[in-house]
Structure formats: C-alpha cells, structure tokens
Amino acid sequence: MTLSDTIRAAFEAAFPGGDFSAVRVVPATDPKFGDYQCNDALKYAKQAGLKPREAAQRVADALTGMPDNPFSGVEIAGPGFLNLTIGGKWLAERLGALAADPVDLGIEQSGRGKRIVIDYSSPNAAKQMHIGHIRSTVIGNAIDRIFRSLGYDVVADNHLGDWGTQFGILIKGYRECLTDAERENLTVANLEKCYVLSAARAKEESGEWKEECRRELVKLQQGDEENLALWRKFIDISIGEFERMYRRLGVKFDTYRGESYYNAKMPAVVERLVALGLAVESEGALVVKLEDEGLGVAIVRKSDGGYNYTTSDLACVEDRVAEYDPERIIYVTDDRQQLHFKQFFSISAKLGCRARLVHVPFGLMSYQGKAISTREGNLIKLDELLEEAVKRSMEIVAPRGGDERLAAQIGIGAVKYADLSHDPGTAIDFTWEKALALEGNSGPYLQYAYARVCSLLSKAKEAGAAPGDFVAFASGAAAAEKRLALQLLEFPGAVRRAAEAYKPSVLADYLYQTSQLYSSFYQNTPVLKSEEPARSSRLALCALFGAILRKGLGLLGIETPERI
C-alpha cells in the first residue's frame, strides 16, 4: 500500500462512497511542515457540507484511527491542508521489509500469470547494425527487463527484416559482384557491399539487371532450392553478427522470428479482410480505408500482387496471439513508423485481435550534434561505437588499475544510460562528454556511486561493524537520512511507473535522484564514525541504497562493478 493509497483509505472512511482516485500525497514543500502534504480535503468539503478545515479534520481523525497509520504527525494548516510526518517506527518497519526482500526489493509481482510479447531491435538482415539501431535494442531490452521484474512472462522477439525485394538484389549481387574470396568468407560487410553494387546496377537504363534481380526474387519466393539456401546463408551470417553485438550489450532474445516466418500466412489474412468487406480494390491494389479515423489508406496487397509491411505485421499479430495468447504486444521502433502501427493496430482490432497492442516510438538519435545518415557519411557502426566506448573508458579506469572488463562495463553502461536517461519520445544527441562524465546524470556517475557504497560497506566490515535493523529511525533521524529513507521506499513505485509509461527514463530519473540524496546524506551524516545504534542503522540504509541501485541499474541492463 503506497502512502497515497493510505490517504485514499482515510478519505473513504471520512466520506464513505466518494470517488477519491485523484487524491494523493506529495512531498512537503518545506521540511518544517513535515514529510508530505495532502491538499485534497478542500475539494470534498463542499460536497459534504463542511468547512474546509472541518473536512480536513475528519480525514485526520480517520487517519489517526487507522491500525497501521504511517504518520506520527497529522496537522491541519491554512485553509485545510494536511501536513504529514512519517513515524519512525513505521519507517523502520518498511525499510526492514524492503531489506528482507533482496531479490524483488518490494517490486510488486503484478504480472504473475500474465504474458507479453516485446518486439524490439528487429534490424534488417544483410545490413550492418549502426548507431541508429541502438535505441530500439537498448530501450526494448530495458522494458523487457522491467516487465520481467514485475513477474510477467515475457517473450522477447526479434522481428528481423529478413524478407522482401532486397533479397533478389542480394542474390544477383552475390553471384556477380563479389570475388571468390569474399564469397568464401562471407560477412555482413560483404553482403552490404554486394547489395550496394547490385542495387546500383539495377538502376541501369537497359533494365536487364533489375529484371534478373526480380527473377531471382520470384525463384526464391517459389522455393527454388539454390536461392533458398543462399537466403538462409545470408540470414545465418546476419544473425551471427547481430548476436555478437547483443552479447556485448547483454541482450538476449527468446526467439528470432523474422518477417519471412509470416510469409505463407499473409494471403489468408487478406482473404479475411476481403470477406469481411474491410479490404477493397483501388487502382489494382487492395486497401483498407481508414480515413474516418484520420489514418488514410493502408495497402494490404500491392497492384503487382505482392504483400507489404502492413500485411506482414497483420499476419504476425494473429500468429503471436494464437501461439502465446499474450495480454499485450509491445513494439519498440523509431517514431517514423507511427502511422504504420496506428494503421495496422486499427485493422487488427477490426479483425477481432484480443491482445492489447502498444507502440513505443522513440525519437532519432544524432551523434555529436549531427544527424546520422548515409549521405552525411557518418553512419557509425554499432560495433565501432561500442569499441570506442570501451577505449575511452579504458582511459578513465587504467590509471586506477582497472582492466578491459571494467572498461567494457563502464563504456557499455555509459552508452546505454545516455540513451535510457532520456524520455524515449524525445530526439537525443549522443556526445562522449555527456555519456562518460563522472559527474552529473550519467552511467559512470551511478556506477561510481555504487562502487563507493560497496567500499564503505567493506570498510565497515573490516572495522567489525555490520548493517543492523533500522532502529535509529524509531528514535529520530537526521533530515537527510530520513529524506533518503523515504526515497528508497519509492523504488517499487518507480519501477511500476516506468512499466506503465513504457519509459525506462522514469527509473533512470529515480536512480539519479536517489544517488543525489545519498550523496547529500553521506556528506552530512557520519556513518562509520557514529555511535551505536545509529551506526548499524545507517549502514543498513547504505546497504539498502546499494541494493536498490544495483537492482535498478540491472533493470536498465547496466552492470554494477564493485570496484572502480
């Protein structure tokens, strides 16, 4: 039960039958007035025919009468505000309960028995991953971890772009544009190269090359063995290389079902759309008209008889529902695909889809102030970005005796956090200075805060001191200490809010604020040098902060080395 839930229960007891869903407590504007305040009693006074202060008094009485009332002080101020002071005993108990739950740290297991599919990363095969792919991978993986922590059964599905006209161009290019050596030692870089060369020739005026690419594609679609074997080879090589990247990033998928998997299922979906009168002919194509919803027209079969991205996603959703019966499917892609998702969600609903479909769109990432594009020639490969991250963090950790592994933990953590600390919906600019800063809102800052608390705890151990229970709070705690303690209790709520909003940034913000509060606590309050029982109580607070920081960073996919 959160503090807001408690105060709602008190409103309910004071004015039975009302709707108090909007009632909440907020942190006090000034610690002089307590820890929290609630300004909602005024709103209900009139309805109850009471003066505002009388209404507030009723809530206060109800609160004081509650068996596990968290507040030791409830005061009425001004026109009917409630000033609330958290009781030491209650706080000590709550902190104790969190510390006694080291795996979940109070995170409610609200997802038990529920399944969701998360579709993320999903790069196109035969192309190297570049820095444009990092957002879907990192944001998607954090959402994946956050939902798992809430007890959901998550299926992480990498929806590879592994089907389409590009494969005709690739097969032709593979046969004609590569050297024997390149064919023998096929890499994604070689595939990319042969695609570029072949696509350029497909533009030739005679149209011969283009026609041959088309023929190869048709052969592939009709199941020609040789072409199918080549296609399989391209996909395997691509997945192999993507997996190398995922290993470095600590990202794991449960399944790699690309667009090709849904290929055979597309005609049936279109037939149903036609039978239901949803798809109609327009200039030789089949389309679903969504103008009434402001979503234009979605093509589901092109005039040449081919299917497209929309058809593929429609077939995919039906298949996922049939196989997994998820309560929700979450798609993480850049925001240029918003119309696509709105269209196909709307069509899926018309087809009776029972899963909730959610698109999490993210803004584009620029690099050091410049848009990332092939034309700009700054299409940085993900590989190179990660390499650079490790190299740069090596410069930071080497003087402290850190090794390659530590440099990787910090460098990769920095790249991830630079992304996750921003609301996914916003466009972001990546700069090395911000990402690797040791001060301010950065990955290394948080990792460093964690390492410091580990070192404090091991120093305590050497001195024969150990974290105890939280007794000091029962007998009055310093302001910074109490502020930190209250913030630590908010951890499960921060995880829940991050999931509800599909924004790992909510959790990142929480962790950053918590680390700042920890720092001001640590600067203002003696820990090792304090007397018992304050010492073991404060050590327990430090240990809980460390556990929460570790768990929280873990949910963002960021490692927490104990020494930096």
Pairwise CA distance, residues 520 & 463, whole Å: 24
**Cβ-based nearer residue to ligand ARG, 147 or 512:** 147
Q: How many CB atoms lie within 10 A of CB 489?
A: 20
Is residue 162 within the footprint of ligand ARG (CB under 6 A)? no
Structure tokens at 336: 């240029």
Selected range binding ligand ARG among 20-28, 122-130, 375-383, 476-484, rule: CB under 6 A? 122-130
Pairwise CA distance, residues 475 & 89, whole Å: 8
Of 40, 313, 383, 481, the one binding ligand ARG by CB under 6 A: 313
Selected range binding ligand ARG among 43-51, 121-129, 366-374, 458-466, rule: CB under 6 A? 121-129
Three-class DSSP labels, 431-472: CHHHHCCCCCCCHHHHHHHHHHHHHHHHHHHHCCCCCCCCHH
Pairwise CA distance, residues 409 & 30, whole Å: 40
| CA distance to 219, 256, 500, per residue, from 143 (Å) | 40, 18, 10
Is residue 124 within the footprint of ligand ARG (CB under 6 A)? yes
Residues paired with residue 289 on neighbouring β-strands, in sequence order? 297
Residue 136 dihedral angles phi and psi, to the nearest 5°: -60, -40
Q: What is the DSSP letter of 31?
A: G
Selected range binding ligand ARG among 82-90, 118-126, 172-180, 224-232, rule: CB under 6 A? 118-126
| Shortest distance (Å) from residue 159 CB to ligand ARG | 4
Of 15, 36, 195, 331, the one binding ligand ARG by CB under 6 A: 331
Q: How far is CA 261 from the centre of its chain?
A: 26
Selected range binding ligand ARG among 29-37, 120-128, 142-150, 520-528, rule: CB under 6 A? 120-128
Selected range binding ligand ARG among 115-123, 249-257, 294-302, 494-502, rule: CB under 6 A? 115-123
Is residue 164 within the footprint of ligand ARG (CB under 6 A)? no
| Shortest distance (Å) from residue 341 CB to ligand ARG | 8
Q: How many residues bind ligand ARG (CB under 6 A)?
A: 10
- Write down the H helix ranges in 276-337: 309-324
**Cβ-based nearer residue to ligand ARG, 126 or 316:** 316
**Cβ-based nearer residue to ligand ARG, 70 or 123:** 123
CA atoms within 13 A on the CB side of 165: 13
| Shortest distance (Å) from residue 279 CB to ligand ARG | 20
| Shortest distance (Å) from residue 316 CB to ligand ARG | 6
Of 83, 122, 441, 487, the one binding ligand ARG by CB under 6 A: 122
**Cβ-based nearer residue to ligand ARG, 123 or 504:** 123
**Cβ-based nearer residue to ligand ARG, 242 or 512:** 242
| Shortest distance (Å) from residue 158 CB to ligand ARG | 9
| Shortest distance (Å) from residue 280 CB to ligand ARG | 24
Is residue 161 within the footprint of ligand ARG (CB under 6 A)? yes
Cβ pair 69, 34 in contact under 8 A:
no
| Shortest distance (Å) from residue 124 CB to ligand ARG | 5
Pairwise CA distance, residues 382 & 375, whole Å: 17
Report the interhelical angle of 266-275 vs 309-324 (nearest 10°): 100
| Shortest distance (Å) from residue 389 CB to ligand ARG | 23
**Amino acid letter for position 205:** E
**Cβ-based nearer residue to ligand ARG, 141 or 333:** 333
- Residue 367, H or E segment: strand 365-367
Selected range binding ligand ARG among 108-116, 117-125, 238-246, 388-396, rule: CB under 6 A? 117-125
| Shortest distance (Å) from residue 129 CB to ligand ARG | 10
Using alpha carbons, select from 442, 462, 426 the residue that is nearest to residue 516: 442
Of 94, 130, 135, 159, the one binding ligand ARG by CB under 6 A: 159
**Cβ-based nearer residue to ligand ARG, 311 or 333:** 333
533 cis-preceded (ω within 30 degrees of 0): yes
Instruction: Output 14-23 pairs: Cβ under 8 A, ≥24 positions apart.
Output: 14/55, 14/58, 14/59, 14/61, 14/62, 15/44, 15/47, 15/48, 15/55, 15/58, 18/44, 18/47, 20/44
Site for ligand ARG in 491-550 (CB under 6 A): none
| Shortest distance (Å) from residue 364 CB to ligand ARG | 12
| Shortest distance (Å) from residue 302 CB to ligand ARG | 18
Cβ-count burial of 86 within 10 angstroms (0-12 exposed, 13-18 middle, 19+ buried)? buried
**Cβ-based nearer residue to ligand ARG, 123 or 557:** 123
Which residue reads 């916003």 in tokens? 426
Q: Measured at the alpha carbon of residue 490, what is the angle toward residues 500 and 548, in degrees to the nearest 5? A: 100
| Shortest distance (Å) from residue 360 CB to ligand ARG | 11
Q: How far is CA 71 from the centre of its chain?
A: 35
Residues near ligand ARG (CB under 6 A) are 119, 122-124, 159, 161, 313, 316, 331, 333
